[in-house]
Chains A and B, each alone.
Chain A
Amino acid sequence: MDGVIKIEVPGRPPLAAFNLDGTFYVTDDTCTHGEASLSEGVIEDGLIECPFHQGCFEIATGRPAAAPCTVPIRAYRPVIERDLLHIEDDGA
């Protein structure tokens, strides 16, 4: 079962946390093409499809995978410790 939630963190753009069949991934939530929230999109074959113009990104890497998206979203490496999802953000 795949799922995604939006995570608002004060002082930075929102994140999208994915559960792809038990494996967790975290990316930026805002599409690089428009101002859409990717967590409102559809997950399919490891891709998140933006709800605005059906552009896609690879969830694991952030790589753009369908037009009109051409600029990657940031993908973070999450670590689970004591049931909490952590990501490392270098602030860049």
Chain B
Amino acid sequence: MIATVRLADGSVAFPCAAGDNLLHAGLRAGIGLPYECSVGSCGTCKYELLDGRVETLWAEAPGLGERDRRKGRRLACQSRPLTDCTINLRPGAAYVLPVPAARQRVAFLASEPVTHDMREFRFRAAAPARFVPGQYALLELPGVGARRAYSMCNLANAEGDWHFHIRAVPGGRASRILFGPLDERTEVVLDGPFGLAYLREGPRDIVCVAGGSGLSPMVAIARGFAAGKGHPARRLHFFFGGRTPADICGESLLAVLPGYGERLTYHAAVSDPEAARAAGWPGPTGFVHTLVEAALAPNLARFEFYFAGPPPMAEAMQRMLVANSVPSAQVHFDRFF
């Protein structure tokens, strides 16, 4: 069944194919429905259902609070139409997909270690891989109920290759399959690309800040920057934060890029001073946002910021950038919890 979804203001209607959710159907139709995470956690795709019926995929999704539920709000990413629907939400041009998103079967090619708990996974689709550096895709793995969002670390390519740095989550259902190790015959479906924290052309120098598997989209942005035809004087400052020296990674991936050491630089910080001492870590200790602030002070508003990492890091980065009066139009990240 294809349901027709109408916006309450009458501005637009779009089709939603069987099995698709409101958010992604709208995005596929070229409509800028607001979102960030696609997986129920950020709360940006809230809407009100005025007419019709939907199935809720994840009733307890943290993106909705008590107050939202009381007011009958729902998450577009967690709603599958059962009939034609009329919904109330406000689209924005900033959310329109930069390239089309599609759901397709992918084959697992290989994986290799990045750190003690992170691996790079490589998948191949039949169609060329089209995405912008910094975006993510949703992977459907057998036996894992909800889809998982992973950011690509490679660049768009004609071969159909999608590469991801993924961190093993102890006890995680997706991790059990991916790090099982992943069997080549495992059926994997990829939907994407999605996400707003993608590389924009512009005059400002770039700052990338990564922690954990946030490495993946930040490496993609650095690769996109190095491969791009941007202004030759434009620079990129790459920061990585880890708890222990064993978590620090990414430098070897950047060191092979043109301009490394000149217009592209790498800095890392270890947050656990005990672990730093024990391993003889020669670099700075402390949280990565404080390293960023110290290294770039005083005028942080002259940069374009991209970041990805664990929620406490992302939150600390946001607070630091707000405190330094960096306009939010220069801050790019997708909120996952």
Contact = CB atoms under 8 A, between A and B. Distances in A.
B318 A54 contact: no
Contacts, number: 49
Contact of A32 (B67, B90, B322): B322
B315 A67 contact: no
B323 A67 contact: no
B286 to A, nearest CB: 20
Contacts of B92: 52
Contact of B315 (A30, A56, A68, A71): A71
Interface residues of A, number: 18
A72 B62 CA distance: 19
Interface in B262-319: 315, 318-319
Given A68-B335, A70-B335, A32 B34 contact: no
A72 B315 CA distance: 11
B160 interface: no
B147 interface: no
B46 interface: yes
Contact of B329 (A35, A71, A92): A35
B63 A68 contact: yes
A56 B67 contact: yes
B142 interface: no
A66 interface: yes
Nearest to B316: A71
Given A52-B90, A53-B46, A71-B318, A66 B329 contact: no
A27 to B, nearest CB: 13
Given A53-B34, A68-B36, A68-B335, A32 B46 contact: no
